């Protein structure tokens, strides 16, 4: 039976954006709205990183468009949130924390989907919160460097993510507040 949606799928091939419900991936009721909006903007190329600002002619000629953290690559959304060596250390630490081996995809869209699906561990609820939290805290650290000249160590971001996600899990009644010491070393035992 033919449908318009199926016709669009066939025309575009297997497009990730059509294959799943973005509302479920981005709009988690336990993630604050400002973080969910940032996540949505990240996926759709709306975050004002230097690459986007240059494209919109907001950076004057001669202004540096390099990443504020590594100063090597152009500051794109994918670079800043996934591939910058500084941000990659954050992700590696979180992967090690969960005993996950992962190859980072080029684009934020498939990675957001993988976080939503739990990255292969039996803790989807946690990873649905961890992904948006990491994006948000990396963005805040970037802004702190650009606007205030304050550079944060990547370990501060990792600790902030662990604490914030644990607070969300406690507020959602998925765990008890007394289990934070377990959460820091064996998070899978808490959920």
What are 21-63's pLDDT values in tens digits? 777 788 888 899 999 999 999 998 999 999 999 998 898 877 8
When pLDDT is cut at 50, 70 and 90, the band that residue 16 belongs to is: very low
Q: Which pLDDT value is given to residue 6?
A: 64
Mean pLDDT of the chain: 87
When pLDDT is cut at 50, 70 and 90, the band that residue 79 belongs to is: very high
- Quick: pLDDT tens for 161-170: 999 999 999 9
Q: Which pLDDT value is given to residue 13?
A: 53
Distance, in Å, from the CA atom of 191 to the CA atom of 183, rounded to the nearest integer, reads: 9
- Quick: pLDDT tens for 52-66: 999 988 988 778 899
Q: Counting every residue, how long is the chain?
A: 191
Q: Which pLDDT value is given to residue 20?
A: 58
Six-digit token pair at 138?
């990396």
Question: What percentage of the chain carries pLDDT values higher than 90?
Answer: 52
Residue 177 has pLDDT above 90, yes or no: no
Q: Which pLDDT value is given to residue 18?
A: 47
Strand partners, 74: 66
When pLDDT is cut at 50, 70 and 90, the band that residue 121 belongs to is: confident
Q: Are 48 and 57 in contact (CB under 8 A)?
A: no
Distance, in Å, from the CA atom of 139 to the CA atom of 133, rounded to the nearest integer, reads: 10
Q: What is the pTM of this model?
A: 0.86
């Amino acid at each position: 039976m033919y449908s318009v949606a199926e016709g669009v799928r066939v025309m575009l091939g297997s497009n990730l954006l059509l294959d799943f419900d973005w509302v479920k991936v981005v709009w988690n009721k336990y993630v604050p709205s400002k973080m969910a909006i940032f996540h949505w903007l990240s996926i759709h190329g709306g975050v004002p990183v230097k690459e986007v600002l240059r494209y919109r002619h907001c950076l004057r000629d001669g202004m540096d468009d390099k990443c504020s953290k590594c100063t090597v690559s152009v500051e794109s959304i994918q670079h800043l949130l996934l591939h910058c060596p500084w941000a990659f250390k954050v992700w590696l630490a979180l992967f090690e924390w969960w005993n996950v081996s992962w190859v980072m995809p080029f684009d934020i869209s498939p990675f957001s989907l993988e976080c939503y699906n739990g990255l292969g561990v039996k803790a989807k609820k946690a990873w649905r919160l961890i992904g948006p939290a990491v994006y948000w805290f990396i963005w805040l650290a970037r802004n702190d460097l650009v606007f205030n000249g304050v550079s944060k160590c990547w370990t501060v971001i990792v600790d902030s993510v662990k604490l914030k996600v644990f607070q969300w899990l406690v507020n959602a009644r998925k765990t008890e507040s007394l289990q934070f010491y377990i959460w820091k070393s064996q998070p899978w035992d808490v959920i």
